[in-house]
Amino acid sequence: MYRFLFSARWFGWLAMVIVLAAGCVGLGRWQLDRREAVVEDIQRIEANYDAAPQRYVPGENGFDRYDPAREWTPVTFIGTYDVDNQVVARNRPLNGQPGYEVLTPLRLDDGTAVIIDRGWLPIGNIEAGRPDEIPAPPSGQVEVTARMKPGEPAVNRGAPEGQVASIDLVALSDRLDYPLQDAAYGLLALERPGAAVTPVAAPKPSIDEGPHLSYSLQWFAFGVLAFVGLGYAARQQRRSNAELDGSAPDLPTRQRRRPSSEEEEDTILDAQGIR
């Protein structure tokens, strides 16, 4: 019946299905891992984004030693913007439009500084590769509330003068002649006094999980369907082999129903023309 399954050909099909199913399971687990990471991000946003701002305390707020659980936490600083060492980060899209983010060191009373991401600017029309104008920050002492974000890794890509390819805080620290908090930077939420013109403020991050769960279930289903397809193919092969061997079960013949005596009498009368 199914002895053909022990042939090299069908072992090959089985091996291929196992590999295919394993790949589907791996992709399904990858989607679950991505969903788990997204859910953790959403939980941090919901817990920290709208929390009451914390006063900056040297060594206690996590800007010198980053804690992922504190991402998006608002922290209030008092200091002075260092416009001379301001740079812009390249390749920062917003709502599908390319642009830059303005990074300005804020010098604090303890002698250190923290990078403040003051917002987004579109690409310029006057000179390619640069914003047309960078709005100046408030001068003098300013109170800044910013949400904590981790520094970004270095990238093997250059940038024009006054620009950086990533928010690599260690590299930014090397540009300065004073200590910089190099574990996290602040995404501007509020500053007092405010500037007359400001870059576009960063929008609140999305809390949508995305389609990762449905994608993972689809991949798991594909893995199961691979074995279902193999089973169906084996069943069809069995039927084909049985037909070739003449051992296919004969379909039951339909027996003709014998007419009743009344039907026989009616037939005779019809033949004699009586009816």
* Model pLDDT for residues 62-85, shown as the tens digit of each residue: 888 889 999 999 999 999 999 999
Q: Residue 244 has what pLDDT? A: 73
Q: Residue 259 has what pLDDT? A: 66
Q: Residue 7 has what pLDDT? A: 83
What value does the CA radius of gyration of the chain take, rounded to a whole number of Å? 37
Q: Which residues of the chain have pLDDT under 50?
A: none
Residue 102: strand, helix, or coil: strand
Q: Residue 247 has what pLDDT? A: 56
Strand ranges, E, within the chain: 54-55, 74-81, 87-89, 99-108, 113-122, 141-150, 163-164, 184-192
Rounded to 10 degrees, what is the CA torsion of 121, 125, 128, 130?
-30
Residue 227: strand, helix, or coil: helix
Rounded to 10 degrees, what is the CA torsion of 51, 55, 60, 65?
70
Q: Residue 118 has what pLDDT? A: 97
